[in-house]
Structure 1
Amino acid sequence: MATRPQTGSDYLASLDDGRVVIHDGERVARVAEHPAFSGTASAIASLYDSLHAEDGTADALLAPTADGTGVTHRFWAVPQSADDLRGQREAIRAWQRQTNGWLGRTPEFMACVITSMAAHAPFFGRFEGNVRAALARDQRDVTHYAQALVNPPVDRELPPDEVGDVFLHVVRETDAGLVVRGAKAVVTGAATAQRLLVSHFGGEVQTDGFAIAASVPVATSGLRIFTRGTPFRADQPLASRFQEHDALVVFDDVLIAWDDVLIHDAETMLAYNRGAVGWNARLAFQAATRLEAKLEHVAGLAVRAVEIMGTEERRGTQAALGELIAFRHTVAGLRDAMIEQAVPSGDSVLPGIDSAMAFSALAPDAYSRMRVSLETVLSSALAHLPVPQGALGSDELAGLEPLLRGSNGADARERLEVVGELWDAIGTGFGARHELYERSYWGQPERTHVGVLGLARATGRIAEWQARRHGSDAAPTTHPTADRIRA
């Protein structure tokens, strides 16, 4: 039988590797057992276990590894056709519906980068072999990554290469590898990851010392992860299961083995960030499928909530719910358009760039609008949660339960369950962090919009549209390709 990836137990055991995680200022002894991380770790473990299900459901999640010796999650395979992308969509969707899209960094997430790199392996020059080896390893294991791209928000008026006291850079080269020093910020899910994909994004580096991309084990000596808790109660159904932390990762003279280095020159880093391997479009493909699952979950709760409130016949309520569902359809439609617009790219096919960028431009504002709309429609129902759901049934609350019932057959338990989960989704610290997460997912929204304009100019679209105004049949001089993605 073909070798399968790690199990949930394998994953949980891998977190007990001596990693240095400092949460709320205190060293964490065992990450998988710490209250701040145990819910997320358990949720990720359940995803791995689904790859080993014996009821036949695992088959739709799996595809052969490149060397044919095993199977992997479908998104970890390099797609060769639109049908491959459709299969990857279903595999991503199956995992995201298990977590309802609330985990931004699930184990298939970083496949968008590693597979794109492998499909363009010669681009990486002397590190081509490392890129191919990384894919082979990560396909076999379905490695759980966190992405460490962003520099800490300091000295932004200076070029990155001039902030050597903070930004990650190489301090020396040795026979064993590169020794790096500095920090990366907003590394979502670092504490529960197995490896970090370290790279540079935001400001163009000009020197090779600051142009570093590598795959780094989380337990590497000298690497420290700092997180701060978003307080939550045990009865918060989402926060207790899916709390992710945006970490500051500090590298104190960390040795990165040569075998783990993927980029180490400014020219390659610049081209990589400008879309030479197309990972941005693959990222949008996964992100849209994740957001689709989250919106389906929220919409299902919201429809039942207004029924419990007895306001489902109000026109304004119906309009707000319809808009939320339309947002879900738009996200799913843009993702499916990425499949239909797929283009050859290296040794793979790449999801359509136009639709990928349209999704990245739409999602931040639409998610924020969704939250405000729900707060308006649900209004005081979100505040009418006088007791925890788990307290129902006690002698002290026996007489209170009839006062908490809802409309349309909802008893107190259902009302507190449905509205309480919506409160966690949009009203608590967990919910507020998720709005910030979706709004900041692609960086500054203005940058995305500028990129959309730049791509339209680079592909000749603007010239074509302007020519039509004068009755010309002129066609665009260039066509969209994977190399013209603008981050």
Structure 2
Amino acid sequence: MAQVIQTSPRPMTGEEYLESLRDGRKVFFRGEWVEDVTTHPAFRNAARTVARLYDALHSPETREILTKVDRQGILTHKFFAPAYSAEDLKEAAQAIAVWQRMSFGWMGRTPEYKAAFMATLGADPDYYAPFGETARRWYREYASRVLFMNHVIVDPPIDRNRPPSEVRDVYIHVVKETDGGIIVSGAKQVATASALTHGTFVGVNSGSAARLQEGRDEDVALVFFVRMDNPRQYLISRASYELDAESPFDHPLSSRFDENDAFLVLDEAFIPWEDVLIYRDVAKCKRFYADSGFFNRFNLQTTIRFMIKLEFMIGLLQKGLECNGTADFRGNQVMVGELVALRHLLWAIVTAMVSDPEPSLGGSVVPRLEYAAAARVYTNFAWDRIRQIYERILGGAPIINVSSYRDFLNPEVRPLLDRYLRGTGMSAVERSKLYKLVWDAVYSEFGGRHGLYELNYAGNHEQKYLDPLQWAERRGFMQQWKALVDECLSQYDLDGWRDATWVWETNGRER
């Protein structure tokens, strides 16, 4: 990662970003070490997609919307800096939207995702005492270069019925403490887009932290950073949808927006003290996830990202119906209208998150917790409904297509395709292109992975509902809501109304 840091403290360009990935990182794919992810066909187009985001930071058309100078004098992306007002949050939301529209909402873990946490380090670094200087220095480095961080905060789904301290053969834990830092080993998931990042944030999510007990789990109560050139960090990637994409015509999304997920292993990796945030502190591991404001902020990014993706899916569905000649069918309009209403609802929550924030560390503000929790629930289950609507009103239309763009290049079959595969007011090539996009979005391996991602990226299906309930109890909302019921119950009894406002008549007599 050394080549990322330059004497000129400014955001990287796209070219500088690509060069920064050539640092000897250990990415393994199909049994081989990928020495340069920027040129390997499994990663290169996704890397170039991210590079376009960095170029936008310098483009005259977008740089004013995307960047600002923070309170420390650092020129950075607006969401990479702490927010201190509703206006700051509004501008950050606009910056998120500009970046997300460049991939139509199909890349969830672009650089601004982890900015949801990293920016909080600049607001109150001393929250992480005795490692306050770690937070302070990482924020300066991160914000000034607009670094791309991945994160791993989930333990592998192994022996979860046992205490974390008893799964040391798998879970990340301290092996040894030295004068210069710590030696750690273990695995974490899911390192989404990690092959294209500048560093790994290793932490504990709310579900994992809830299982930690003081006096037992200190060796796994850790939060730290790993530089990508750490020789003992291994990223073992899943299959690449980008690699399998035959052409942009056949795979317009997966050929450039595949955020390859990886299984991350640290095998006696040395982590210097200057990269440690929390060390063997169970209480702080339990608190920091909520205290930092990360939860509030990441849901702002994910909701905006999902809404742009939803807008894309609404437009794609409407074009598919028009191609079929069924856009005016009343039942189809009803279902498209449902998605339009969902889009409006979630944008309204975004508006609430930025216009009615709550105080956070160091005098900063973050989106209100209640709004963030609501957005988390409704964005996570929405993809299943989107897919269901596609399947109901597009029917079998997405199946009827050519095997490859090459079919249109065959002079014998081309006239048949032009006649029988055309759409309503649309040529066969245009129809095929449209439905290839539908297939890649909903039914391909890439589309299937997105269905899994949308449902699980923010936690397990139960935790998403348990958190709002627990927070409502902690913040006194449940008591207020029960008090409403108690007030109603207090207004009557067996003898009738206890308040003279109302009249009760029985057997013709007023009581």
Task: Using the TM superposition, give the Cα deviation of residue 146 of structure 1 relative to its aligned residue in structure 2, in angstroms.
Answer: 0.7
- Equivalent of residue 441 in structure 2, options 397, 416, 425: 425
What is the RMSD computed on CA atoms of the aligned residues? 1.7
Q: Does 1:37 align with 2:53?
A: no
Contact 1:43 1:241 (8 Å CA) reproduced? yes
* 1:144-163 CA distance string (max 9 Å, x none): 11111111110100111211
Distance 1:241 1:395 in 2: 30
Q: Does 1:226 align with 2:236?
A: yes
Query: Bigger CA drift: 384-393 or 445-454?
Result: 384-393
Please name the residue that 1:205 is paired with: 212
Please name the residue that 2:496 is paired with: none
Count of residue pairs the alignment pairs up: 469
Contact 1:65 1:139 (8 Å CA) reproduced? no
Query: Bigger CA drift: 204-213 or 109-118?
Result: 204-213
1:142-291 equivalences under 5 Å are 142-201=146-205, 202-203=207-208, 204-206=211-213, 207-231=217-241, 232-234=244-246, 235-264=250-279, 265-273=281-289, 275-291=290-306
> 1:381 is aligned with what amino acid?
A
Distance 1:360 1:451 in 2: 10
Task: Using the TM superposition, give the Cα deviation of residue 353 of structure 1 relative to its aligned residue in structure 2, in angstroms.
Answer: 0.8
* 1:24-53 CA distance string (max 9 Å, x none): 322223211112111210100010011111
Query: Bigger CA drift: 420-429 or 169-178?
Result: 169-178
> 2:99 is aligned with what amino acid?
W
Q: Does 1:5 align with 2:11?
A: yes
SS state of the match for residue 33, structure 1?
Answer: coil
Query: Bigger CA drift: 18-27 or 136-145?
Result: 18-27
Distance 1:426 1:56 in 2: 32
SS state of the match for residue 431, structure 1?
Answer: helix
Structure 1 length normalisation: TM-score?
Answer: 0.93
Q: For the pair shown, which has the larger CA radius of gyration, 1 or 2?
A: 2
Please name the residue that 1:122 is paired with: 126
Distance 2:187 2:361 in 1: 32
Runs of 5+ unmatched residues, structure 1: 475-487
1:37-186 equivalences under 5 Å are 37-53=43-59, 55-68=60-73, 70-186=74-190
Distance 2:138 2:407 in 1: 50
Task: Using the TM superposition, give the Cα deviation of residue 108 of structure 1 relative to its aligned residue in structure 2, in angstroms.
Answer: 1.1
Task: Using the TM superposition, give the Cα deviation of residue 230 of structure 1 relative to its aligned residue in structure 2, in angstroms.
Answer: 4.6
Contact 1:4 1:52 (8 Å CA) reproduced? no
SS state of the match for residue 269, structure 1?
Answer: helix
Q: Does 1:414 align with 2:420?
A: no
* 1:399-421 CA distance string (max 9 Å, x none): 122222111x2111221121111
Please name the residue that 1:23 is paired with: 29
* 1:40-93 CA distance string (max 9 Å, x none): 10100010011111x34211100114421x411110011010000000010000
Distance 1:390 1:142, change over 3 A: farther
SS state of the match for residue 396, structure 1?
Answer: coil
> 1:280 is aligned with what amino acid?
F
Structure 2 length normalisation: TM-score?
Answer: 0.89
SS state of the match for residue 224, structure 1?
Answer: strand
Task: Using the TM superposition, give the Cα deviation of residue 472 of structure 1 relative to its aligned residue in structure 2, in angstroms.
Answer: 7.5
> 1:309 is aligned with what amino acid?
N
Runs of 5+ unmatched residues, structure 2: 1-7, 491-511
1:317-466 equivalences under 5 Å are 317-347=332-362, 348-389=364-405, 391-399=407-415, 400-407=417-424, 409-466=425-482
Task: Using the TM superposition, give the Cα deviation of residue 109 of structure 1 relative to its aligned residue in structure 2, in angstroms.
Answer: 1.1
Distance 2:406 2:90 in 1: 42
* 1:122-146 CA distance string (max 9 Å, x none): 2211111111111111001111111
Contact 1:368 1:435 (8 Å CA) reproduced? yes
Distance 1:41 1:66 in 2: 31
Contact 1:117 1:279 (8 Å CA) reproduced? no
Where does structure 1 differ by over 3 angstroms across 4 or more consecutive aligned residues? none
Distance 1:127 1:323 in 2: 49
* 1:296-328 CA distance string (max 9 Å, x none): 111111111100110001111111111122222
* 1:430-456 CA distance string (max 9 Å, x none): 001001000001211211111111111
Identity %: 36
SS state of the match for residue 204, structure 2?
Answer: strand
